[in-house]
Amino acid sequence: MVTRRFVLSSLALATAAAALPVSLSAMAPTSDRPKLLIFDVNETLLDLGKLQQAVNQEFQSETAFKQWFGLLLQYSLVDTVTGNYHNFGQIGDAALDMLAQALGQPARPAAHKKEILTLITELPPHPDIIPGLTALQKAGFRMVTLTNSPDATVKKQMAYASLTGFFEQLLSIDSLKRYKPHPETYHSTCQQLKVAPAQAMLIAAHGWDTAGAQLAGLQAAFISRPGQQVYPLAPAPTLTGPTLPDIARQLIG
């Protein structure tokens, strides 16, 4: 349970962080080597290609997956600001209905939607992930996940992708009932792992996620996967690189 005091102090921290000039947020990694690496999961560690193909094929459109994932992210924030929490699987299911309606197609039966959504638990890691995580583990970094997917889903995802062993904990926003990039999601993770926000680094392939972490006072590394961008109106990420081994090299030095 999040206390009112924690909510207020988190908001105050976020506001203070937002007021910092960009240059103060971009700290040299050598002098501020993070004590904790917090990994986003979907699109950062895992390749969503299989799910993308299934959604595009189902709706007979090359842009259906992008539209669906956009609705999923938008409505996770709609739920966050309105206090109307549903887990990522439930919003994903609702987003399939909204997508069908947007495309003028009939809604899919529940069992069929479940079949599509189950694919999120059967995704391979991007090819750069195991080499990157191995290098970071050898260099002694503490590593956890922080995903918008529910607890049970991230456990299945990491087991399927054979990544569980790299992480001290598999954390999700599910118990907090607020989605990233809300500052509490990052603060709660730091609090649980007993690390100050400035000593933690979020690693993600989404600009909204690195922006949120930095505005909450954490460091952030952006993996610039094709089609992904940083948010131009937020501080630049502390580190940027095309792959995780590239980020790892910058962190290990």
For residues 97 and 71, is the Cβ–Cβ distance under 8 A? no
Q: At what angle do helices 244-252 and 129-138 cross, to 10 degrees?
A: 20
The number of residues making up the chain comes to 253
In whole angstroms, give the CA distance from residue 92 to residue 26. 34
Phi/psi-derived region of residue 230, left when phi > 0, alpha when psi is between -120 and 50, beta in every other case = beta
Three-state secondary structure along 10-46? HHHHHHHHHHCCHHHHCCCCCCCCCCEEEECCECCCE
Cβ-based nearer residue to a copy of itself, 23 or 82: 82
Site string for a copy of itself, 113-142 (x = CB under 8 A): ------------------------------
Site for a copy of itself in 196-225 (CB under 8 A): 207-208, 211-212, 215-216
Interacting residue with a copy of itself among 97, 115, 122, 168 (CB under 8 A): 97
Interacting residue with a copy of itself among 18, 54, 119, 198 (CB under 8 A): 18
| Piece of the chain touching a copy of itself by CB under 8 A; list 49-57, 71-79, 112-120, 144-152 | 71-79
Interacting residue with a copy of itself among 24, 28, 111, 233 (CB under 8 A): 233
State yes or no: residue 20 binds a copy of itself (CB under 8 A).
no
Site for a copy of itself in 159-188 (CB under 8 A): 178, 181-183
For residues 169 and 193, is the Cβ–Cβ distance under 8 A? yes
- The b-or-e profile of 92-105 (16+ CB within 10 A means b, else e) is bbebbebbbeeeee
CB of 182 to a copy of itself, least distance (A): 5
Joined together, the tokens standing for residue 14 give 């976020």
State yes or no: residue 80 binds a copy of itself (CB under 8 A).
yes
Which residue ranges make up the site for a copy of itself (CB under 8 A)? Answer: 4, 8, 11, 14-15, 18, 63, 66-67, 70-71, 73-75, 77-84, 86, 90-91, 94, 97-98, 101-102, 104, 178, 181-183, 207-208, 211-212, 215-216, 226-229, 231-234
